[in-house]
Structure 1
Amino acid sequence: MSRKKVGLIFYLSILILIVASGFIGYLFGNRNLRLNEKYTPELVNIDVGKPNDVNFSLFWEAYRKLVNNYVGEIDQKDFLYRAIAGSFTATNDPYTNFLPPEDTKEFENELSGELEGIGIRIGILEEMPAVIAPLSGSPAEQAGLKARDKILKIDDQDTLTLTLDQAVDLIRGKSGTKVRLTVLRGEEEKVFEVTRAKINVETVELSYSGDVAILAINEFGVDTKEEFLDKANDIKGKGVEKVVLDLRNNPGGLLDGAVDVASEFFENGKLIVSEEGKGYKRELKTSGNSILKNVKLVVLVNGGSASASEILAGAIKDYQRGKIIGEKTFGKGTVQQYENLSDGSSVKITIAKWLTPNGTSIDKNGIEVDIEEKEPDNALFAKEDQLVKRAIEELSK
């Protein structure tokens, strides 16, 4: 071998050694490689660049033992999703969650107001799932289902053993498929076969009782601003000057939706809510058309009013813009950041707390009402809403 080739091999060997030494040094420096008790190098984290303050090799050690020894089949993707979801529960925060792709799609559909099902609202009546009301124009209404129909069976499944959520899940399904409901109407059993469809659920509903407008917001979704503006203009066009804002059982949703609604009840520039997170504070103020700024206002809330609905109620209370009637709200006053992941799954992570304009923390405290009024049993199935009636009385003073 020529002296020239020997020299080239020598220099290449030195270069490889330098690169390898540097990489090993990087692994040690970032704690991705360490010496065990026998002074043998071992990888701490399989993937370089992952958190270096936790020994993730323990996770992979347990995983390998499971795969190598478990007698049954293991769904690798399901294992991954459950592992991630389990790690999120370590925060002890019920609002910090991992959502697999299927749950992500359902969550986003709910925010957009688009669901697949038959278009009914159901609750529990005399310990059984029952129809509160079919949505206008829905497959359920077209099939003939009516308020207070008690649901005995969903297909062949007896409902006595089901929770309300389980009943909802069975009734929902892909558009074009059928579901058979056996209901009790009075003393008569009836069977309805209903074809599921895509249901666009309005988040804002408007009705009138004499000279009073009743605005019910079911949640704050993608279309809430547009829907609310449409209803607010209708109220203004009719010259109605008294409004009941019904936020009962509104679980929240998009923060911007609550601020958008508040913007129509206040002048521009009013502080509605402050966010306080790690090293930052953000203030959200009104910036709308103030269409309803002069109406007389009463707000209805209960223990199911949470999150964004509490922000709206809290601002109205702090500025004494209207009376709050009902029961103390839920007390969910934290901000979740929602992000999609690469495979269609997503994460919701609590990043901040909300404060009302007066600096009051909503979280675990809720909003206290000005006038306490408890809802009667089975209020959702009553012919007349007693709290709306009480609100109208207050507006008439």
Structure 2
Amino acid sequence: MRLSAFKPPKKPVKPCLIKAAAFKPAFMIGLLGLSSVSFYAQAAHTATIVANAGSPTASLQLISLKGDEVGPDNGADDLSDIAPIGDESDDWIDETRDITAIDNGVIAPNDAAITPDSNPLVDESDYINTDIPAEVATVSLNAISPETLKTFVAVVDLVRREYVDSVNDEELFSNAMSGMLTKLDSHAEFLDAEAYENLRAFTEGDVGDIGIKVVYQPAVGYWVITDVINNSPADKKGIAIGDYLHQIDEFKLDEDKQSNDIEQLLTGIAGTQVDVITSKAGRRKHTTTLQRNNNHPQTIETRLVDGIAIIKLPAFQNTSRVQILQSLTSLDAPVNGILLDLRDNPGGVLTSAVQVASLFMDDTTVVQIKSRQSELRTLMTRGTAVLKPLPVVILQNRYSASAAEVLASSLQTQKRATIVGEVSYGKGSVQSVIPLNEEQAVKLTVAHYLTATGKKIDRIGVQPDVILSGTEREWEQQALDLLRKQVHTSGLRFVQKDSSDNNLSNNSLENKLKY
């Protein structure tokens, strides 16, 4: 995700006026949640979020699916002109489309927000006006029928009047939007200001979790929460020390899981949501949806073992390519092979996977993207493949997903790397982050990606070339043994050209082949 100036939409956003005169005050205020939502559509190749110096999410750029094939650019080792595509999210592609803004031209006064009800337990249906005004009934809302809209308004009014606790309209409509999106699939969601900012922060280097630590206690036979960070997402939702943790998303927890497994499942792309099932000391279980808003920097761990660089890549971010090069430079020793550990990697920015693939291959197809509204699009490697001479083994597990699967499948298809471990997760969908305004956005699944040869990954995963046995603690050694058989040179040594430059760029490395 790169910074850019705001470009106004080529097509004007047309307001569709919904008059309110025929609505009774009892539910009129419920429509105010729609009053300031604007969808900006742009027919050009890129779309930008409204630039505002005071907004933490200003100047974010998205990439359109409707561009031509991305190809090499005279060998320039630079991918800065490819806007990041985010994932689980994870993949940032803007689908250019025409969306009509809905604006309430007439609003009810503030004092109509609360309607007294002397006897809320008595069914007085004549107080609930579910008639749809003619002005609303004639508005084109595609598949939304007037009857459906009438039912929705009636439910909002019923909750506002009858629910045991008072709830404000902003909360109701926020919940309605979240529910609508999450029912589509597990990756779609409504991003409030905090989640939107955290997602932006993720692309620049942060990852997030929900702010808890857990330990398996054999005496009770459960994973028990031992620490809850103050004011973290978990703390705000009432999760406490001593609670049992039973499940994270679709993964049920038992004694066979390792602490690292739990940590990786709870940690992911900052701003994304995760469902956890907990209970109070084994009593009634309940599900809580949390956003990974407890942010902390991601670090790429790199170490050298017998001339082989072991690179642990937790997620794909805008900085991943440069961090890999920096970490290889910091080794200050010849490297004769790369073991890229993608275990527990949930994905991230898709173009980051393309950038990392460009370290190993030149002018090569990485992934194909297919949306409902555009032709099949191909993303290719670009620039100088500085790691091309080195043999590569990629280590994956069942939690390796999305952009991690893009990289693994690409190098596997081109016979550039040996994939070892177990079958990966199988997340082959592309999410676009579409801004609603300066502080809110929708993360929506807009496409599927396929391997370079057109094979499907979604719900299938990447099949390893070599299935490893034993526990995951033993996999690294097995992978190293396989890689050693492929080493044929004394390696590459990476040095930084300008030691005074603390910000290493893609073009500021000199690599020297040592024989």
TM-score (norm 1): 0.66
| Aligned residue number for residue 56 of structure 2 | none
Greater relative CO, 1 or 2 (CA 8 Å, sep 6+):
2
Per-residue deviation, residues 108-159 of structure 1 (Å, max 9, x unmatched): 33333336899x996655569xxxxxxxxxxxxxxxxxxxxx9745489434
| Aligned residue number for residue 45 of structure 1 | 136
| Aligned residue number for residue 200 of structure 2 | 108
| Aligned residue number for residue 373 of structure 1 | 468
Give how far 1:319 is off.
Answer: 1.1
| Aligned residue number for residue 259 of structure 1 | 354
Q: One-letter code of the match for 2:421?
A: G
| Aligned residue number for residue 389 of structure 1 | 477
Give how far 1:359 is off.
Answer: 1.2
Alignment check: 8 A CA contact 1:326 1:372 kept: yes
Give how far 1:74 is off.
Answer: 1.2
Which structure 2 residues correspond to residues 176-187 of structure 1 after superposition, within 5 A?
none
Question: Runs of 5+ in structure 1 lacking a partner?
Answer: 1-22, 25-31, 33-39, 129-149, 170-196, 380-384
Are residue 200 (structure 1) and residue 292 (structure 2) matched?
no
Alignment check: 8 A CA contact 1:297 1:322 kept: yes
* TM-aligned CA distance change 1:205 to 1:71, over 3 Å: closer
Which structure 2 residues correspond to residues 199-218 of structure 1 after superposition, within 5 A?
199-202=296-299, 204-218=300-314
Q: One-letter code of the match for 1:228?
A: I
* TM-aligned CA distance change 1:125 to 1:208, over 3 Å: farther
Are residue 339 (structure 1) and residue 427 (structure 2) matched?
no
* TM-aligned CA distance change 1:159 to 1:221, over 3 Å: farther
When the two structures are aligned, how many residues end up with a matched partner? 302
CA distance in structure 1 between the partners assigned to 2:162 and 2:155 by the alignment = 11
Alignment check: 8 A CA contact 1:88 1:98 kept: yes
CA distance in structure 2 between the partners assigned to 1:41 and 1:325 by the alignment = 60
| Aligned residue number for residue 288 of structure 1 | 383
| Aligned residue number for residue 87 of structure 1 | 180
Alignment check: 8 A CA contact 1:297 1:395 kept: yes
Q: 210, 224, 231: which one pairs with 2:320? A: 224
Give how far 1:258 is off.
Answer: 0.3
Give how far 1:234 is off.
Answer: 5.0
Which structure 2 residues correspond to residues 150-189 of structure 1 after superposition, within 5 A?
152-154=226-228, 157-162=240-245
CA distance in structure 1 between the partners assigned to 2:228 and 2:481 by the alignment = 41
Q: Secondary structure at the match of 2:361?
A: coil
Give how far 1:301 is off.
Answer: 0.3
Question: Runs of 5+ in structure 2 lacking a partner?
Answer: 1-17, 20-101, 103-130, 231-239, 250-261, 267-293, 486-515
- Provide the identity percentage: 26
* TM-aligned CA distance change 1:258 to 1:234, over 3 Å: same
| Aligned residue number for residue 334 of structure 2 | 239
Which structure 2 residues correspond to residues 58-73 of structure 1 after superposition, within 5 A?
58-73=151-166
Structure with the higher fraction of residues in helix conformation: 1
CA distance in structure 1 between the partners assigned to 2:317 and 2:467 by the alignment = 28
Alignment check: 8 A CA contact 2:366 2:410 kept: yes
* TM-aligned CA distance change 1:127 to 1:357, over 3 Å: farther
Q: Secondary structure at the match of 2:376?
A: strand
* TM-aligned CA distance change 1:110 to 1:124, over 3 Å: farther
Q: Secondary structure at the match of 1:300?
A: strand
Bigger drift between 337-346 and 42-51 goes to: 42-51
TM-score (norm 2): 0.52
Larger-gyration structure (1/2):
1
Are residue 361 (structure 1) and residue 449 (structure 2) matched?
no
